[in-house]
């Protein structure tokens, strides 16, 4: 009888250990938005906007590729396996989170959860040694200034006639122009990576929030290198960065993370 009780105790202990290990190995669940709306945008407009607001993710006329880039902190050239419609079909996204959610969570893990839920996105990552640019300080010194900007109250929209560029965190690109309001250096290198279609690594050591106004030649910035002259009288993007921002791009090689799309679908209806 005593022998049987010992066996029972051992089995019971093993069972508890198995349950404990199962719980310990369970993956942590990503944070998600409480309510999210994803609707097709068939306006044909070229205007795209991301409006930063506390506790909310709001994007107008964006593509799946733009959402992936933002959620996973990658650029188009780092994404492999995206379907054609990822760049041709546009959506309006309005998602709400708890007001305690950080901007990092909203534009990262929560947006990833939305893509996985509504677009059925499945991805994996690989790392490759690829050409990169190093962003350093130019010898003439930094020419970026910390400007004034407006902060939106939680769950509010700008007043009619109010410029989006007046709000903290605004960024607009197009027609060989880049304009941003009170952004960190990491956001600038993300924008430059998108323009140059090559990873830009911040080696400046600068901290703080800066206003950015950058204009360069309409010649093809993607295929031109730092030593190739511009096609017209305007400055190349490399010259413009040095003259207008007080920064410099240097060619190098480094590890670049590539995101591979295993599967994705058009979003489910609301």
Q: What is the DSSP string of 180-194?
A: EEEE-HHHHHHHHHH
- For residues 51 and 59, the answer to whether their CB atoms sit within 8 Å is yes
- Measured CA to CA, the distance from residue 110 to residue 11 in angstroms comes to 42
If one compares 203 and 221, the residue with the highest pLDDT of the two is 203
pTM tops 0.85: no
Please compute the mean of the pLDDT values over residues 243-249 and round it to a whole number: 96
> How many CA atoms within 13 Å lie on the side-chain side of 114?
28
The pLDDT of residue 194 is above 80: yes
Q: How many helices (H) and strands (E) does the chain have?
A: 7, 11
The pLDDT of residue 19 is above 60: no
Please compute the mean of the pLDDT values over residues 109-129 and round it to a whole number: 96
Hey, is 141 helix, strand or coil?
Answer: coil
Q: Does residue 122 lie in a domain region?
A: yes
For residue 235, give both structure tokens.
Answer: 């400055």
**46 phi-psi bin (left φ>0, alpha ψ -120 to 50, beta other):** alpha
Distance of CA 29 to the CA centre of its chain: 21
Contacts of 106 (CB under 8 A, 6+ apart): 55, 56, 57, 97
The tally of domains found in the chain comes to: 1
Q: Does residue 76 lie in a domain region?
A: yes
The pLDDT of residue 180 is above 50: yes
- pLDDT confidence band for 200 (50 / 70 / 90): very high
- For residues 38 and 60, the answer to whether their CB atoms sit within 8 Å is no
- Measured CA to CA, the distance from residue 168 to residue 52 in angstroms comes to 8
Q: What is the mean pLDDT of the chain?
A: 84
Q: Does residue 96 lie in a domain region?
A: yes
Q: Does residue 125 lie in a domain region?
A: yes
Distance of CA 260 to the CA centre of its chain: 16
What's the domain range around 143?
Answer: 35-263
Please compute the mean of the pLDDT values over residues 119-140 and round it to a whole number: 94
Q: In what order do the strands lie in the sheet with 200-202?
A: 79-80, 247-263, 122-137, 200-202
Predicted local confidence at residue 146, as pLDDT: 83
Mean pLDDT comparison of 163-167, 217-221, 239-243, highest-scoring range: 239-243
Tens of pLDDT, residues 132-178: 999 999 998 899 988 788 887 766 777 787 788 888 888 998 889 99
Compute CA distances 105 → 50, 95, 114, 122, whole Å.
15, 13, 12, 19
Predicted local confidence at residue 3, as pLDDT: 47
Q: Does residue 6 lie in a domain region?
A: no
Q: Does residue 8 lie in a domain region?
A: no
The pLDDT of residue 20 is above 60: no
Please compute the mean of the pLDDT values over residues 248-269 and round it to a whole number: 93
Predicted local confidence at residue 117, as pLDDT: 95
Predicted local confidence at residue 10, as pLDDT: 45
Q: Does residue 74 lie in a domain region?
A: yes
Please compute the mean of the pLDDT values over residues 239-261 and round it to a whole number: 95
Please compute the mean of the pLDDT values over residues 56-78 and round it to a whole number: 93
Tens of pLDDT, residues 1-15: 554 545 444 444 444
Q: Does residue 100 lie in a domain region?
A: yes
12-26, 171-185, 194-208, 220-234: least confidently modelled range: 12-26
Q: Of all helices (H) and strands (E), which one includes residue 12? A: helix 2-25
Predicted local confidence at residue 15, as pLDDT: 47
């Amino acid at each position: 009888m005593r022998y049987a009780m010992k066996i029972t105790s051992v089995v019971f202990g093993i069972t508890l250990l198995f349950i404990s290990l199962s719980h310990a190995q369970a993956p942590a669940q990503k944070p998600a938005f409480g309510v999210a709306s994803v609707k097709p945008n068939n306006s044909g407009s070229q205007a795209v906007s991301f409006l930063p607001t506390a506790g909310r993710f709001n994007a107008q006329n964006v593509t799946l590729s733009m959402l992936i880039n933002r959620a996973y902190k990658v650029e188009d050239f780092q994404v492999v396996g995206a379907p054609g419609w990822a760049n041709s079909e546009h959506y309006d996204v309005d998602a709400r989170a708890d007001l305690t959610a950080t901007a990092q969570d909203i534009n990262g893990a929560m947006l990833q959860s939305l893509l996985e839920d509504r677009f059925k996105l499945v991805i994996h990552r690989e790392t490759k040694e690829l050409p990169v640019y190093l962003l350093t300080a130019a010898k003439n010194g930094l020419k970026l200034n910390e400007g004034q900007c407006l902060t939106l109250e939680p769950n509010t929209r700008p007043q009619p006639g109010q410029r989006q560029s007046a709000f903290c965190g605004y960024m607009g690109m197009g027609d060989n122009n880049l304009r941003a309001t009170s952004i960190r250096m990491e956001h600038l290198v993300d924008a430059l990576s998108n323009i140059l279609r090559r990873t830009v690594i911040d080696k400046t050591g600068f901290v703080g929030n800066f206003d950015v106004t950058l204009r360069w030649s309409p010649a093809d910035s993607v295929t031109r290198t730092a030593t190739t002259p511009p096609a017209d009288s305007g400055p190349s993007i490399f010259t413009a960065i040095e003259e207008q921002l007080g920064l410099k791009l240097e060619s190098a090689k480094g590890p670049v993370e590539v995101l591979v799309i295993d599967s994705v679908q058009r979003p489910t209806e609301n």
